[in-house]
Amino acid sequence: MALVEVVTRTYRRPGLLQRNIASLTRQSDDDWQQVFLVDTVGLGVGASYQRMAHHQPLGEWVWVLDDDDECIHPGLVSDVRRIAGEEPEVRVIMVRMDHGGGLGVLPDDLVWGKAPILGHVGVSSYIVRRDVWMRHAHAFGSGRYASDFDFIAAVFDAEAQGRRGAQREGPFVVWHDVVASKCMVRGQGRSEAELAVTT
Protein backbone atom coordinates (compact mmCIF):
# COMPACT_ATOMS: atom_id res chain seq x y z
CA MET A 1 0.00 0.00 0.00
CA ALA A 2 1.40 3.36 -1.03
CA LEU A 3 1.53 6.28 1.38
CA VAL A 4 -0.25 8.58 -1.10
CA GLU A 5 -2.70 7.50 -3.79
CA VAL A 6 -3.11 10.11 -6.51
CA VAL A 7 -6.52 9.83 -8.19
CA THR A 8 -6.56 11.24 -11.71
CA ARG A 9 -9.75 11.70 -13.71
CA THR A 10 -8.97 11.75 -17.40
CA TYR A 11 -10.82 12.28 -20.67
CA ARG A 12 -9.07 12.31 -24.06
CA ARG A 13 -6.23 14.57 -23.01
CA PRO A 14 -3.13 12.50 -23.82
CA GLY A 15 -0.65 15.36 -23.90
CA LEU A 16 -1.88 16.92 -20.70
CA LEU A 17 -2.03 13.52 -19.03
CA GLN A 18 1.62 12.88 -19.87
CA ARG A 19 2.55 16.22 -18.30
CA ASN A 20 0.44 15.31 -15.26
CA ILE A 21 2.22 11.97 -14.85
CA ALA A 22 5.67 13.50 -15.43
CA SER A 23 5.02 16.09 -12.73
CA LEU A 24 4.52 13.35 -10.17
CA THR A 25 7.72 11.53 -11.09
CA ARG A 26 9.65 14.47 -9.67
CA GLN A 27 8.57 13.62 -6.10
CA SER A 28 11.50 13.31 -3.69
CA ASP A 29 9.69 10.43 -1.93
CA ASP A 30 8.49 7.70 -4.31
CA ASP A 31 5.95 6.16 -1.92
CA TRP A 32 2.96 7.05 -4.12
CA GLN A 33 0.81 5.43 -6.76
CA GLN A 34 -1.45 6.93 -9.40
CA VAL A 35 -4.91 5.57 -10.19
CA PHE A 36 -6.83 6.66 -13.29
CA LEU A 37 -10.58 7.10 -13.58
CA VAL A 38 -10.97 7.08 -17.36
CA ASP A 39 -13.93 8.58 -19.19
CA THR A 40 -13.85 7.21 -22.74
CA VAL A 41 -17.06 8.77 -24.06
CA GLY A 42 -17.33 12.25 -22.54
CA LEU A 43 -19.81 11.75 -19.71
CA GLY A 44 -18.72 15.03 -18.15
CA VAL A 45 -17.58 16.43 -14.82
CA GLY A 46 -20.75 15.47 -12.93
CA ALA A 47 -20.44 11.82 -13.89
CA SER A 48 -16.76 11.83 -12.94
CA TYR A 49 -17.68 12.93 -9.42
CA GLN A 50 -20.26 10.16 -9.21
CA ARG A 51 -17.49 7.69 -10.08
CA MET A 52 -15.33 9.17 -7.35
CA ALA A 53 -18.15 8.56 -4.87
CA HIS A 54 -17.67 4.82 -5.49
CA HIS A 55 -13.87 4.77 -5.76
CA GLN A 56 -12.20 2.70 -3.02
CA PRO A 57 -8.60 3.86 -2.68
CA LEU A 58 -5.82 1.65 -1.42
CA GLY A 59 -3.32 4.36 -0.43
CA GLU A 60 -3.06 5.55 3.16
CA TRP A 61 -3.74 9.11 1.96
CA VAL A 62 -5.71 10.24 -1.10
CA TRP A 63 -5.09 13.27 -3.32
CA VAL A 64 -7.02 14.12 -6.49
CA LEU A 65 -4.94 15.55 -9.35
CA ASP A 66 -6.93 15.75 -12.58
CA ASP A 67 -5.38 15.31 -16.01
CA ASP A 68 -5.47 19.06 -16.71
CA ASP A 69 -3.47 19.78 -13.53
CA GLU A 70 0.12 19.14 -12.53
CA CYS A 71 1.98 18.79 -9.27
CA ILE A 72 4.47 21.62 -8.74
CA HIS A 73 5.70 20.72 -5.25
CA PRO A 74 8.25 17.87 -5.45
CA GLY A 75 8.25 17.47 -1.67
CA LEU A 76 4.53 16.77 -1.32
CA VAL A 77 4.72 13.06 -0.49
CA SER A 78 7.59 13.59 1.96
CA ASP A 79 5.56 16.40 3.56
CA VAL A 80 2.60 14.03 4.01
CA ARG A 81 4.91 11.48 5.66
CA ARG A 82 6.34 14.10 8.03
CA ILE A 83 2.97 15.65 8.95
CA ALA A 84 1.34 12.26 9.55
CA GLY A 85 4.25 11.30 11.80
CA GLU A 86 4.16 14.53 13.78
CA GLU A 87 0.35 14.73 14.09
CA PRO A 88 -1.06 11.18 14.42
CA GLU A 89 -4.62 12.50 14.86
CA VAL A 90 -4.58 14.46 11.59
CA ARG A 91 -7.07 13.32 8.97
CA VAL A 92 -6.92 16.17 6.45
CA ILE A 93 -3.98 18.10 5.03
CA MET A 94 -4.99 21.31 3.29
CA VAL A 95 -2.71 22.68 0.57
CA ARG A 96 -3.09 25.35 -2.08
CA MET A 97 -3.69 25.08 -5.82
CA ASP A 98 -2.97 27.67 -8.50
CA HIS A 99 -6.04 27.82 -10.74
CA GLY A 100 -4.57 30.49 -13.00
CA GLY A 101 -6.22 33.64 -14.31
CA GLY A 102 -9.45 34.67 -12.70
CA LEU A 103 -9.44 32.33 -9.73
CA GLY A 104 -5.79 32.45 -8.70
CA VAL A 105 -4.49 30.44 -5.76
CA LEU A 106 -7.11 28.60 -3.69
CA PRO A 107 -7.81 28.41 -0.83
CA ASP A 108 -7.02 32.13 -0.78
CA ASP A 109 -5.90 34.12 2.24
CA LEU A 110 -9.49 35.13 2.97
CA VAL A 111 -10.43 31.57 3.97
CA TRP A 112 -7.07 29.94 4.72
CA GLY A 113 -7.24 28.26 8.11
CA LYS A 114 -11.04 28.30 8.16
CA ALA A 115 -13.79 25.88 7.21
CA PRO A 116 -14.15 25.54 3.41
CA ILE A 117 -16.26 28.09 1.54
CA LEU A 118 -17.83 27.41 -1.85
CA GLY A 119 -15.75 28.97 -4.61
CA HIS A 120 -12.61 29.18 -2.46
CA VAL A 121 -11.44 25.57 -2.65
CA GLY A 122 -10.51 23.17 -5.44
CA VAL A 123 -10.40 19.40 -5.72
CA SER A 124 -6.60 19.37 -5.29
CA SER A 125 -6.72 21.58 -2.19
CA TYR A 126 -6.96 18.66 0.20
CA ILE A 127 -5.27 15.36 0.94
CA VAL A 128 -7.34 13.06 3.14
CA ARG A 129 -6.72 9.82 4.96
CA ARG A 130 -8.19 6.74 3.33
CA ASP A 131 -10.68 6.15 6.16
CA VAL A 132 -11.95 9.73 5.81
CA TRP A 133 -12.40 9.25 2.06
CA MET A 134 -14.33 6.05 2.64
CA ARG A 135 -16.64 7.68 5.21
CA HIS A 136 -17.45 10.74 3.12
CA ALA A 137 -16.97 9.85 -0.56
CA HIS A 138 -20.76 9.67 -0.92
CA ALA A 139 -20.72 13.50 -0.78
CA PHE A 140 -19.25 13.48 -4.31
CA GLY A 141 -22.39 11.66 -5.45
CA SER A 142 -24.59 14.66 -6.24
CA GLY A 143 -22.74 14.94 -9.52
CA ARG A 144 -22.84 18.73 -9.48
CA TYR A 145 -19.80 20.73 -10.60
CA ALA A 146 -19.12 21.82 -7.00
CA SER A 147 -19.01 18.26 -5.64
CA ASP A 148 -15.38 18.84 -4.65
CA PHE A 149 -16.67 21.43 -2.17
CA ASP A 150 -19.52 19.14 -1.05
CA PHE A 151 -16.99 16.47 -0.12
CA ILE A 152 -14.57 18.60 1.87
CA ALA A 153 -17.42 20.49 3.58
CA ALA A 154 -18.90 17.16 4.71
CA VAL A 155 -15.48 16.08 5.97
CA PHE A 156 -14.97 19.26 7.99
CA ASP A 157 -18.47 19.11 9.48
CA ALA A 158 -18.23 15.48 10.52
CA GLU A 159 -14.62 15.47 11.71
CA ALA A 160 -15.06 18.64 13.77
CA GLN A 161 -18.19 17.21 15.44
CA GLY A 162 -16.51 13.88 16.04
CA ARG A 163 -13.52 15.55 17.63
CA ARG A 164 -15.70 17.53 20.02
CA GLY A 165 -17.68 14.41 20.94
CA ALA A 166 -14.59 12.27 21.55
CA GLN A 167 -12.59 15.10 23.17
CA ARG A 168 -9.57 14.15 21.09
CA GLU A 169 -6.31 15.99 21.36
CA GLY A 170 -4.47 17.33 18.37
CA PRO A 171 -5.87 18.81 15.16
CA PHE A 172 -7.89 16.84 12.61
CA VAL A 173 -6.64 19.21 9.91
CA VAL A 174 -3.19 20.62 9.19
CA TRP A 175 -2.96 23.75 7.04
CA HIS A 176 0.20 23.14 5.02
CA ASP A 177 0.93 26.43 3.29
CA VAL A 178 2.41 25.28 -0.01
CA VAL A 179 1.13 25.60 -3.56
CA ALA A 180 1.10 21.90 -4.41
CA SER A 181 -0.45 21.98 -7.88
CA LYS A 182 -1.46 24.21 -10.73
CA CYS A 183 -4.04 24.08 -13.46
CA MET A 184 -2.47 23.65 -16.90
CA VAL A 185 -5.76 24.52 -18.59
CA ARG A 186 -9.35 24.70 -17.36
CA GLY A 187 -10.65 21.58 -19.04
CA GLN A 188 -14.19 21.54 -17.59
CA GLY A 189 -14.88 18.13 -19.13
CA ARG A 190 -13.65 18.97 -22.64
CA SER A 191 -11.15 16.89 -24.58
CA GLU A 192 -7.73 18.15 -25.62
CA ALA A 193 -8.95 18.58 -29.20
CA GLU A 194 -11.92 20.67 -28.03
CA LEU A 195 -9.59 22.81 -25.95
CA ALA A 196 -7.20 23.23 -28.89
CA VAL A 197 -4.33 22.53 -26.51
CA THR A 198 -0.77 22.23 -27.80
CA THR A 199 1.53 20.30 -25.47
Smallest CA-to-CA distance from 127 within 180, 50, 89 is with: 180
Q: Delimit the domains of the chain by residue range.
A: 4-195
pLDDT at 103: 87
Does pLDDT of 169 surpass 60?
no
pLDDT, mean of residues 158-186: 79
Topology of domain 4-195 in CATH is Spore Coat Polysaccharide Biosynthesis Protein SpsA; Chain A (3.90.550)
Q: Quick check: helix, strand or coil at residue 172?
A: coil
Confidence label for 54 from pLDDT (cuts 50, 70 and 90): very high
How is 6-60 classified by DSSP, letter by letter? Answer: EEEEESS-HHHHHHHHHHHTT-SS--EEEEEEE-SS---HHHHHHHHHH----SS
Q: What does the DSSP 8-state code read for residue 101?
A: T
Q: For the segment 91-121, what is each residue's pLDDT rounded down to a tens digit?
A: 999 999 999 888 899 999 999 999 999 999 9
Q: How far, CA to CA in Å, does 70 sit from each of 36, 66, 186?
A: 14, 8, 12
pLDDT at 101: 81
Does pLDDT of 41 surpass 50?
yes
Better pLDDT: 162 or 154: 154
Neighbours of 161 (CB within 10 A): 10
Q: How far apart are CA 143 and CA 151, in angstroms?
A: 11
pLDDT at 118: 95
